[in-house]
Amino acid sequence: MPYKPPKIEKIQYHIGEVAKMFDVNVSLIRFWENEFDILKPHKDGKGTRYFKSKDLDTLHLIFHLVKEQGMTLEGAKKKLKDQREQTLKNFEIVKRLTRIKSDLVTLKEEIEDKPKETSDTLQW
């Protein structure tokens, strides 16, 4: 299941909201937090995690590498450590292309759903 970006931009998200966005268990988000040094959500005095948009971007990148590209955790860690800039550029390109594809599919569906106009129904 692909990542579902939030509709309303909030300042911070609870771990349950984040897990829903990625359609994964909360435990996986906690696990990735322990495994990846670059993922550091804010924790309050009770230990409640709050994820900011930067954290969501990092999680999205980890999700892409591990779940969509099929990399191992060690492979993803190494890639983020050794080739972070190139990995980010490639990921941004993939995100843009995915968005364009989605827009094109939506446009195609709208065109197919629209009744065809014949020359005698056109009005000038």
3 is a domain residue: no
41 is a domain residue: yes
pLDDT digits (tens, 9 = 90+) for 84-111: 788 888 888 888 898 899 999 999 998 8
The mean pLDDT of 8-34, rounded to a whole number, is 91
For the chain, helix (H) and strand (E) counts, in that order, are 5, 3
pLDDT digits (tens, 9 = 90+) for 33-90: 999 988 989 998 998 899 998 899 889 889 989 998 899 999 999 888 888 788 888 8
34 is a domain residue: yes
Whether 22 contacts 33, CB under 8 Å: no
Residue 52 to residue 39: CA distance in whole angstroms: 11
* Residue at 106: amino acid letter: T
Residue 88 to residue 39: CA distance in whole angstroms: 15
1 is a domain residue: no
Give the count of domains, the chain.
1
pTM assigned to the model:
0.67
- Domain range for 49 is 13-113
71 is a domain residue: yes
64 is a domain residue: yes
Q: What is the pLDDT of residue 84?
A: 77
Q: The domain that contains 48 carries what CATH number?
A: 1.10.1660.10
